[in-house]
Amino acid sequence: MATLTYVYADSTAVVGPLATQAEPHSYDLCTAHAHRLTAPRGWEVVRFEGEFAPPQPTADDLTALAEAVREAGRADRPLDPSPPVPVQGGTGRRGHLRVLPGSGEG
């Protein structure tokens, strides 16, 4: 895995090792796409030449995972905090899905 980051001001695409944090204008790529990526005309591609090995988990990663699992398992956690939203035509919201009436095009 690798991370692609665009630097628009410099017209540069940087392909490097998998990032550990989300950044604006960054996208994770599989190794095959990281090696084959091309940029638009006039842009430069800066590519890491080593292997795109996944980063090793850290204690922070494991702590964050444990906290997320603990939060998901809380008995007092609301399942769906938003009330159903009625939509014209008698359709509405069920759980995490929203049903919208058709636009009439067909």
Q: Where are the domains of the chain?
A: 2-47
Average pLDDT, the chain: 74
pLDDT band at 106 (very low <50, low <70, confident <90, very high): very low
- Give which of 83, 3, 88 is closest to 37, Cα–Cα: 3
What tens digit of pLDDT does each residue of 53-98 get?
Answer: 666 666 776 777 777 777 777 767 666 656 655 555 555 555 555 6
Q: pTM for this structure?
A: 0.47
Instruction: Output the CA torsion sign for 31, 37, 43, 46.
Output: positive
Q: Is the Cβ–Cβ distance between 46 and 17 less than 8 Å?
A: no
Q: Where are the alpha helices (DSSP H) in the chain?
A: 31-36, 59-72
Q: Which residue has the higher pLDDT, 75 or 19?
A: 19
Q: Which residue has the higher pLDDT, 100 or 45?
A: 45
Tokens of 82: 């938003």
